[in-house]
């Protein structure tokens, strides 16, 4: 069995961060407690293609890829060349840059719902802009939503609708502290797939619903007709239908889930993978819903930053050039087959479930309360073997069959450790770390 990697420099930095940075990281998904804390690397030194090297010099195959933000592979030569060339010409001008128009034209050509475009620098920010535009366009306040849409007040205010006693917050231990209580009731969650619930919410808030904002797909495809039914209800009630494709966009189809499923919303939010690791986000939509934004206060200095625009334009063109849709299917299916085989070889029961763009390990456990310990042990044992992953895998175009083969071997050995721990009832003894904190939990499924 391989030794545990030396991650002492990572842990030193993490201890220093504790004094300087509240919460230690800028993104909750980067906290050490989200992985095998004490075994998984915490700080990276550099990254290229499908791999990164941590500050202690250990190399890992990366299946997290900045939670999906990296899509072509780390430090992609073509995107980085375009960004470097732009840096030499200036990143932020006093005037507007023509790349704003070039990217808008590319987005309009690519995303079915896009006729007009606004930019941001992040996904949550773009969701907040979409909420503002939808409210301004309809002159209504209530937003019905499902899925995760970032850290902003409009969305986090929904936590006030949740019973604090039950602890049902989207992140364990993180409460809506600092979010104005006055916003309670302005953003209301609904359950994915439950058309009757959505209809009832429309009835309850008749004439007040500005928008329905939802992730059209997360890990599985919806029942046929579901998104069409949501669209029909939104139309009937005069609400703007917004697809948040920040996480589900780009990999399945470059034009998004909406292209794949043939349902065109009124507005779409994109970010993350659109620029392969450079900050960018966008709200796109029909002229009818977007045009009134010209009369709303939606404005920020760095939204015009040319490096993000150059990165995004190049990334989208490269996705098209590199036959990304077919490649993601190939990589995802190959990974799924390999992980399935690893599960079978270990004697565990389960499968690699979910869409090929977001496959994840789903084990049948004797007791569901063991899930966190098993997930932590899997992450720990994979880290030990040079694989950085959650229970789910987010591929890039840089991942090769060799990466999948190495990952499969590591998974096979890791599942065997889990099987032994389950059989002997000593999972805790095998863990070199605390059990992973509640993973990123969405307000509603
Ligand atoms: C669907 C969805 N919307 C919004 C966001 C927020 O994006 P960002 O972290 O860039 O603010 C995320 C991030 O995970 C997301 O998955």
Pairwise pLDDT comparison (368 vs 444), residue with the higher score: 368
Query: Measuring CA to CA, which residue among 72, 66, 68, 75 is closest to residue 27?
Result: 66
Q: Which fold has domain 77-321?
A: 3.40.640
Q: Are 62 and 52 in contact (CB under 8 A)?
A: yes
**pLDDT (tens digit, 9 = 90+) per residue, 325-352?**
999 999 999 999 999 999 999 999 999 9
**pLDDT (tens digit, 9 = 90+) per residue, 50-73?**
999 999 999 999 999 999 999 999
Q: How many whole angstroms separate alpha carbon 273 and alpha carbon 275?
A: 5
- Give the predicted TM-score (pTM) of the model: 0.96
Averaged over 357-378, what is the pLDDT? 95
CA of 6 to the centre of ligand 1 (A): 32
Averaged over 282-292, what is the pLDDT? 98
Rounded alpha-carbon distances, angstroms, from residue 121 to 23, 109, 279, 304 = 22, 21, 5, 9
> Which residue's CA is the nearest one to ligand 1's atom 4?
149
Using the predicted structure, report yes or no on whether residue 442 has a pLDDT greater than 80: no
Rg (CA), the chain: 22
Max distance between CA atoms of the chain, in angstroms, equals: 67
CA of 151 to the centre of ligand 1 (A): 9
* pLDDT for residue 163: 66
* pLDDT for residue 196: 97
**Which numbered atom of ligand 1 lies nearest the CA of 215?**
1
**pLDDT (tens digit, 9 = 90+) per residue, 94-142?**
999 999 999 999 999 999 999 999 999 999 999 999 999 999 999 999 9
Q: Are 241 and 265 in contact (CB under 8 A)?
A: yes
Which tokens belong to 123? 């996904």
How many residues does the structure list for the chain?
445
Query: Measuring CA to CA, which residue among 237, 288, 229, 236 is closest to residue 263?
Result: 229
* Backbone phi and psi for residue 267, each to the nearest 5 degrees, phi listed first: -145, 150
- Extents of the domains making up the chain: 8-72+323-430, 77-321
| CATH code given to domain 8-72+323-430 | 3.90.1150.10
CB of residue 279 inside a 6 A radius of ligand 1? no
* pLDDT for residue 440: 47
CB of residue 354 inside a 6 A radius of ligand 1? no
Can you spell out the DSSP letters for 295-337? GS----GGGG-HHHHHHHHHHHHHHHHTTHHHHHHHHHHHHHH
**pLDDT (tens digit, 9 = 90+) per residue, 161-200?**
876 566 555 555 567 889 999 999 999 999 999 999 999 9
**pLDDT (tens digit, 9 = 90+) per residue, 296-330?**
999 999 999 999 999 999 999 999 999 999 999 99
Q: Are 158 and 189 in contact (CB under 8 A)?
A: yes
């Amino acid at each position: 069995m391989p030794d545990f990697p030396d991650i002492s420099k990572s842990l030193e930095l993490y201890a220093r961060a504790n004094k300087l940075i509240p919460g230690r990281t800028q993104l909750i998904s980067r906290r050490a407690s989200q992985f095998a804390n004490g075994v998984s690397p915490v700080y990276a030194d550099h990254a290229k293609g499908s791999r990164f090297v941590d500050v202690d010099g250990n190399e890992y195959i990366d299946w997290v890829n900045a939670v999906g933000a990296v899509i072509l592979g780390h430090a992609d030569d073509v995107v980085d060349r375009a960004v470097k060339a732009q840096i030499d010409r200036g990143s932020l001008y006093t005037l507007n840059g023509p790349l704003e128009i070039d990217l808008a034209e590319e987005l309009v050509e690519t995303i079915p719902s896009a006729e007009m475009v606004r930019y941001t620098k992040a996904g949550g920010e773009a969701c907040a802009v979409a909420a503002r535009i939808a409210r301004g366009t309809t002159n209504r306040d209530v937003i019905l939503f499902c899925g995760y849409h970032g850290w902003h007040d409009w969305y986090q205010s929904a936590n006030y609708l949740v019973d604090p006693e039950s602890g049902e917050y989207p992140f364990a231990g993180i409460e809506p502290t600092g979010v104005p209580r006055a916003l309670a009731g302005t953003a209301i969650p609904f359950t994915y797939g439950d058309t009757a619930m959505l209809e009832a919410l429309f009835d309850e808030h008749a004439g007040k619903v500005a928008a329905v904002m939802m992730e059209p797909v997360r890990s599985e495809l919806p029942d046929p007709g579901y998104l069409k039914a949501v669209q029909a209800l939104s139309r009937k009630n005069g609400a703007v239908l917004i697809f948040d494709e920040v996480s589900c966009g780009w990999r399945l189809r470059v034009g998004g889930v909406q292209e794949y499923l043939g349902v065109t919303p009124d507005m779409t939010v994109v970010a993350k993978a659109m620029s392969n690791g450079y900050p960018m986000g966008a709200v796109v939509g029909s002229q009818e819903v977007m045009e009134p934004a010209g009369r709303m206060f939606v404005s920020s200095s760095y939204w015009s930053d040319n490096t993000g625009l150059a990165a995004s334009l190049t990334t989208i063109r490269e996705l098209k050039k590199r036959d990304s849709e077919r490649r993601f299917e190939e990589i995802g299916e190959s990974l799924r087959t390999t992980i399935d085989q690893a599960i079978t070889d270990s004697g565990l029961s389960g499968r690699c479930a979910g869409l090929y763009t977001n496959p994840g390990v789903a084990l049948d456990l004797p007791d569901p309360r063991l899930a966190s310990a098993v997930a932590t042990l899997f992450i720990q044992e994979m880290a030990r073997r040079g694989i950085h992953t959650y229970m789910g895998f987010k591929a890039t175009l840089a991942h090769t069959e060799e990466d999948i083969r190495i990952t499969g071997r590591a998974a096979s050995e890791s599942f065997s450790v889990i099987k032994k721990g389950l059989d002997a009832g000593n999972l805790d003894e095998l863990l070199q770390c605390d059990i992973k904190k509640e993973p990123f939990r969405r307000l509603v499924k």
